[in-house]
Amino acid sequence: MRPIQARISIGAMAHNLRVARSHAGTARVFAVVKANAYGHGLSRARRALAAADGFAVLTLEEAANLRLMGVDQPILLLEGMFGADEIATCADLDLWPVLHHPAHLDWLQQQPPARPLQVFLKFDSGMHRLGFPLADHAAIVARTRSLSAVAGITLMTHFAQADETVGVDWQLHPFLRELSAYGLPWSSANSAALLRYPQTLGAWARPGLMLYGASPFADVSAEQLGLRPAMTLQSEIISVQTLQAGEGVGYGQLFRADRPMRVGVVACGYADGYPRHALTGTPALVDGRLSRTLGRVSMDMLCVDLGECPEAGVGSPVVLWGEGLPVDTVAAAAGTSSYELLCALAARVPVEETD
């Protein structure tokens, strides 16, 4: 059997939820489990994060699966409804859709469900992705309140730079200034805001990345935040090559040795979810020692430097990210984000669940 596997820790996710709760104060917590729980598996996340006050997903299919798994907490649809035909299902499954476009209000007016829905009314405070224009709040709130299809409203926005030094005030202050008079509950905090800006908490926080043990900040590690990695991607060396000075390795010969050296070939490639664009120098743990990748990542293999691992050979374990090697560190070296690495885990990689 090919030696690559991902280990997913239920205990780590549960721990990270406790960290989120410790920052949330009186705010309730939606555990964001979209995209197959950031690659960790929806069923696993449901069990690990069972103590969350609610779950946030992208699609009706994800929400329906959670209900089939026995979830009875609120489920938030982060992108709302994709058609009027989804309204009835929202009512049947007691889902809370995010309303962010006038079409949503039209659909609810034209096809009211059998029972009214709790909704999140999203306003664009500066990210310019989803949301009603903040300047139109009076008309939007008034119309939403008039709909018989709506049982309750929570106001919502999303931050563009909560993980950067510029922070959230440039979005938060206008959002609260314009909407506070309505006396409605509100939600704005993602992982970064939850950890760094307690003024963003509102009634509901929406942590995602931190639940899986990665840091939303470039300057603060997950360990410093008290988080534990939930996913460890690991494999083994399946071949060892010896290069002479001037010889290259892999497609394009992007790496050439400047001295005689040993190279380990690892059973992991971009078809497993490892980034093809990761260049020479991306860290890897070989036999517990910090090493680096060499050359271009192939579909099923990548190469590592064995210069600091003299005893490593065929069968030696290699951690690509996770325990002992933060996914954030690998992502930064590869010029991407931990979100992308975690979500990209391929279906062909066997998964072992741990406590």
Please report the pLDDT score of residue 139 as a whole number.
Answer: 98
Q: Which two tokens stand for residue 16?
A: 């990270």
Task: Check if 251 is active-site.
Answer: yes
Would you say domain 10-212 falls under CATH 3.20.20.10?
Answer: yes
Please report the pLDDT score of residue 330 as a whole number.
Answer: 98
Please report the pLDDT score of residue 142 as a whole number.
Answer: 98
- Does pTM top 0.75 for this prediction? yes
Please report the pLDDT score of residue 313 as a whole number.
Answer: 96
Catalytic residue among 182, 197, 251, 339: 251
Please report the pLDDT score of residue 260 as a whole number.
Answer: 96
Please report the pLDDT score of residue 351 as a whole number.
Answer: 98
- CATH number assigned to the domain with residue range 231-354, chosen from the 4 options 3.40.50.720, 3.40.50.360, 3.40.50.300, 2.40.37.10: 2.40.37.10
Which residues, 6 or more positions from 214, have their beta carbon under 8 angstroms from its beta carbon? 222, 227, 229, 326, 327, 328, 338, 339, 342
What is the C-alpha to C-alpha distance for residues 216 and 327, in angstroms, rounded to an integer?
A: 11
Which residue ranges make up each domain of the chain?
A: 10-212, 231-354
Average pLDDT per 10 consecutive residues for the chain, totaling 355 residues: 97 98 98 98 98 98 98 98 97 98 98 96 97 97 98 98 97 97 98 98 98 97 98 98 96 96 98 97 97 98 96 97 98 97 98 96
Which residues, 6 or more positions from 264, have their beta carbon under 8 angstroms from its beta carbon? 237, 239, 240, 286, 303, 304, 305, 306, 309, 312, 313, 316, 318
**Amino acid, res. 344:** A
Task: Check if 122 is active-site.
Answer: no
Catalytic residue among 34, 197, 212, 339: 34
Let me know: does 289 contact 329? Beta carbons within 8 Å. Answer: no
Please report the pLDDT score of residue 271 as a whole number.
Answer: 98
> Where are the extended beta strands (E) located within 211-269?
231-243, 248-249, 255-256, 261-266
What is the C-alpha to C-alpha distance for residues 297 and 291, in angstroms, rounded to an integer?
A: 15
